[in-house]
Amino acid sequence: MKAVEFFNKNKDKFHDFFGLSLNKYLVSELLVIDVGSFDIIKFDSEMHDKGYSEDKDGSLSNYVELKYGKSADAFIKALIKE
């Protein structure tokens, strides 16, 4: 199960960047058929709770880069592609 292995391999990195559990943002029903699915809508909502605002920060990607760094932004993009 390629997708499950990818997410298991990266859960600690996600926690290190954001202090959150990666499992909270995975669509588990899709992992059963080995389809990775990072719930960007749920992550966006969490970032709003942490202070993200489209009006102030622009894109979610821009906010993540500014608050957590370029590596964190690239990491989120990799999760979305998986």
Total Cβ atoms within 10 A of residue 76: 23
Q: For residue 54, what are the CA distances in angstroms to 34, 63, 73?
A: 33, 9, 16
For residue 71, pLDDT beyond 70: yes
**pTM of the complete model:** 0.81
Query: Do residues 76 and 20 make contact, with C-beta atoms less than 8 angstroms apart?
Result: no
pLDDT recorded at residue 36 = 59
pLDDT higher at 10 or 19 = 19
State the first-to-last Cα distance of the chain, in angstroms, to the nearest integer. 12
